[in-house]
Structure 1
């Protein structure tokens, strides 16, 4: 049984899964990226779910919209890091496409969610 409102949100659940996918993707990155690109993309992907949950707790509607906006910005950061990862040949074209499509789906879900906040 869910104790917190955000646990029931599909966008939070998807963001949690996406963060885990990104974390797994960075495992084979070279050591030189440990404190650079791999750290950046993991923090940004974790920030998506973190902001969704923070915005759902006892916040006013404008405040919830603001936190969803932060989540969307973090997702845009992840997408840029995905492009960097592909350009540096840390991930394959197929891995990039899979994660890029997941990111696009999550972006559409979050945008729709934000529009529906009254």
Structure 2
């Protein structure tokens, strides 16, 4: 089976694992007819790994760094959505804390990778 280069990146691997978890939450929201929340979370969750993958197809490190910046911003978007979901009692405080920890770890790794590319 063919493998794309982005699949070997640690930041992509972390992001796709987190994406799976966030999409599970979105699926739960859809079952509960919270479609707007589910739609927002689906888009924001997919944005992280999508931008890492798309960015690796760039022609320059500077362009790739731009896509990593978008992925980084998407971690913050996901964090905000999760805070709102917890405030609305759609996810637990424990879930929120766990996901925020994972998002923070990913955001830090994206920042480090971006800085490395721009050296």
Regarding TM over 0.5, the answer is: yes
Point out where structure 2 has 5 or more consecutive residues left out of the alignment. none
Residues in 2 aligned to 1:58 and 1:73: alpha-carbon distance in whole angstroms: 19
Equivalent residue pairs, number: 116
User: Following superposition of structure 1 onto structure 2, how do residues 18-97 of structure 1 map, counting pairs within 5 Å?
Assistant: 18-29=18-29, 30-31=32-33, 33-34=34-35, 36-97=36-97
**C-alpha distance in 2, partners of 1:22/1:107?**
15
Shift in Å, 1:24: 1.0
Alpha-carbon shift at residue 26 of structure 1 (Å): 2.5
**TM-score, structure 1 as length reference:** 0.92
CA RMSD of superposed structures (Å): 1.3
Alignment TM-score, normalising by the size of structure 2: 0.91
**Distance in 1 between the 2:47 and 2:110 partners?**
14
- Encode CA deviations 1:25-57: one digit per residue, 9 max, x unaligned: 2233230x21x1111011111110000010101
List runs of 5+ in structure 1 lacking aligned partners: none
